Structure 1
Amino acid sequence: MRALINAFIIHLTLNILIFLKGWNTFEGKKTARIIMVVVFGAELLIYTIGFIFYRYLPEDITQFIRVMGTSWMLFLLYNGGLWLIIDLINAIRQKISHKPWRVREQSRRFKVITYLIPMIIVTGIMIHGRYRFMHPVVQQVPITIDKPAEGMDSIRIAMIGDLHLGYMINKKHTKRFVDLIMAQQPDLILFVGDIIDSHIEPILQQKMDEELSRLSAPLGVFSCTGNHEYRYDTEEKIALLNKAGITILRDSAVLIGNSFYVVGREDKVVPTRKSLKELLFLQSVEMSKPVIVLNHTPDNLAEEAEAGVDIALYGHTHHGQVFPGNIATELSFEVAHGYRKKKDTHIYVTSGIGLVGPQYRIGTVSEMVMLTVRFRE
């Protein structure tokens, strides 16, 4: 609830600031000001109703309010940033010219143009960002391992990260994701955590597990845990995923067809999480066979590389989800998104297929990854 209240305060503050800028821009323009009052007032009214009565409204209406509210907030943040940049540039320009600069003293033409043009630009960017979220790409990644896998020369692995199923990513999105995964006809399906966003209630209410139960592959469906699995209802969520056919590997390993291992690590939020070398030892993993490790957060790639595993798969970053978050993740992680080889370990960090908050991908992509893994004969 505290997070919701904070979001509401931020939302309200942004609306007030942007409204006041528009009110000043359209000084003397009665029609424009009326339109502003109607648009901002309607948005705030709908968002407030949703905030207070979301438990009592039909799910379709609540979902519309969630999407509208988060979209409007992103719209205001981007516009606010552009307006700030324009004002700073103009202030610097006026300072260099030794001319006084005050917002209210700018010409009406200048104020209208600099108010509306950013809105048009941001609208276009968000339309494209919405399209990128609604149309995930399938990244094809070939990998060759210099180890034999008994009875196999190659396999096709579907790697998926960060579905974040819940209130924002509902059953319709879940069906879309499952359809895309199954269309690839993978031999093995691997998740890298954060399948469920926070609470289990929306999963149960919308019966999203029915969609997850459609996932199948000849060699199985597995996942490690992510930090969101541990936010609320941890054991209930993991039990639901196991029942839906997704085997959650919690610091454990499974030998697939006596050919290769899949190892799932607990998320780093778990105090009792084992080091990778300890885990491999306790699970009696034969390093002569190919070893694939699922590990949600890519904050220590050296651990997998030094342990000598063959493939290490990660998620968590979303690659920042929307600009400038992608820049922040590039600065924060050794690999924020994509493929890298470290020593003899093939690494892939996925930007994820789902998301948290606004349903947009700006400067990033929603993706699933198809790994074509070839073994030594």
Structure 2
Amino acid sequence: MRALINAYIIHVTLGVLVFLKGWHTFDKKKWARIILIILFGLEFLIYTYGFFFYRTLPDNVVQLIRVMGTSWMLFLFYTGGLWFITDLIYIFVRRLLKKPWYLNRQSRKFRIISFTIPILFVTGVMINGHYKFNNPVVQELRLNIEKPVEEFDSVRIAVIGDMHLGWMINRKHAKRYVDLIMSQKPDLILFVGDIIDSHIEPILDQDIKDELVRLSAPLGIYSCTGNHEYRYDAEEKIQLLNESGIVMLRDSVVLIDSAIYVVGRDDKVILDRKSTEEIISENHVDMSKPVIILNHTPDNLSEESEAGADLALYGHTHHGQAFPGNIATEIVFEVAHGYKKKENTHVYVTSGIGLVGPQFRIGTVSEIAIITILFRN
């Protein structure tokens, strides 16, 4: 609840700052100020009422408020940042030229142009970002694992991370995701956690399970847990996923067709979870066979490589989801998105197909990864 209150405070604060920026810009335009009062007044009332009294509203209205509210917050963040940078540049240049640099001395023309251009630019960026969210890409990757598999020469794996099914990523999105996954005709489907966002209620209310059960693959469907699986109703959500045909591996191992091991690690929110090496040892994994590890968070790639995994798959990062988040994740994680060979282990971190919050991909992509593994035969 505290996080929600903080989000509300940030949202309102950004709104006030932007309102004041517009008020200053249009100091001689009464009609523009009236529009600002109406626009920001309505936005504040709708957002505030929806935030505190959403249970009194129809579900479709609440959903619209969620989408518009998160989009508006991102818009305010970007435009506010650009206006701040513009004002800093203005001050620097004016001082360099030894001219008056106070913001209230800006010409009206400069104020209007510097106010309007960032709005148009951010609007264009967000339109493109929403399109990228709604149109996930398919990342193709071919890897060699130098281990023999008598049953088949290769396997085509669909790797999906961070669906975050719930209120923001609803059944409509789930249907599109399932259609995309199935169109790739994978031999094996592997999730790397956060299939469900937070609460189970929207999954039940929208019958999203009916979409998940459409998933099928000859070699099965498996997933590790993510941190969002453990946010509220954890056991109920995990049971629902199992019943949907997605086998949840919680510090456990499955041997597929006596040929390939898939090891699923519990998310690190489980403080006493086992290490990769412990799981492999306790389950007597035959390391002469290919071993694939599913682990939600890529914060310690060495654990999988030192355990001798052939392929380690991760999610969680969203690659920051929207700029400058992508830069932040590149700093925090050894691999924030994409492929790396770490010792003898192939590593892939997916940026995820869904997201949390605003429905935009800016500087990142929504994706599924199709990894074709070629074995030595």
TM-score by length of 2: 0.98
Residue 224 of structure 1 pairs with residue 218 of structure 2 = no
Residue 195 of structure 1 pairs with residue 221 of structure 2 = no
Partner SS state of residue 147, structure 1: coil
Alignment deviations for residues 137-178 of structure 1 (CA, whole Å, 9 cap, x no partner): 000010111001231111110000000111111111111111
Distance 1:180 1:237 in 2: 23
Alignment deviations for residues 13-42 of structure 1 (CA, whole Å, 9 cap, x no partner): 111110011001001101111111222122
Q: Structure 1: 5+ residue runs without aligned partners?
A: none
Counterpart code for 1:222:
Y
Q: Structure 2: 5+ residue runs without aligned partners?
A: none
- Look up the match of 1:50: 50
Partner SS state of residue 370, structure 2: strand
Once the 2 structures are TM-superposed, how far is the Cα of residue 3 of structure 1 from its aligned partner?
2.2
Counterpart code for 1:17:
L
- Look up the match of 2:29: 29
Distance 2:369 2:54 in 1: 35
- Look up the match of 2:317: 317
Distance 1:224 1:150 in 2: 27
Q: How does 1:75-154 map to 2 (within 5 A)?
A: 75-154=75-154
Number of residue pairs aligned between Structure 1 and Structure 2 = 377
- Look up the match of 1:348: 348
Q: How does 1:223-372 map to 2 (within 5 A)?
A: 223-372=223-372
Partner SS state of residue 55, structure 1: helix
Q: Answer with 333-342 or 97-106: which moved more.
A: 97-106
Counterpart code for 2:271:
P
Distance 2:54 2:215 in 1: 31
Q: Answer with 207-216 or 157-166: which moved more.
A: 207-216
Percent identity over the alignment?
67
Distance 1:181 1:57 in 2: 34
Q: Is the 8 A contact 1:136 1:353 kept in 2?
A: yes
Root-mean-square deviation over aligned CA pairs: 0.9
Residue 66 of structure 1 pairs with residue 66 of structure 2 = yes
Counterpart code for 2:109:
R
Distance 2:136 2:100 in 1: 50
Distance 2:230 2:208 in 1: 19
Q: Is the 8 A contact 1:150 1:258 kept in 2?
A: no
Alignment deviations for residues 220-244 of structure 1 (CA, whole Å, 9 cap, x no partner): 1100011111121111111111011
Distance 1:221 1:200 in 2: 21
Partner SS state of residue 46, structure 2: helix
Partner SS state of residue 312, structure 2: strand
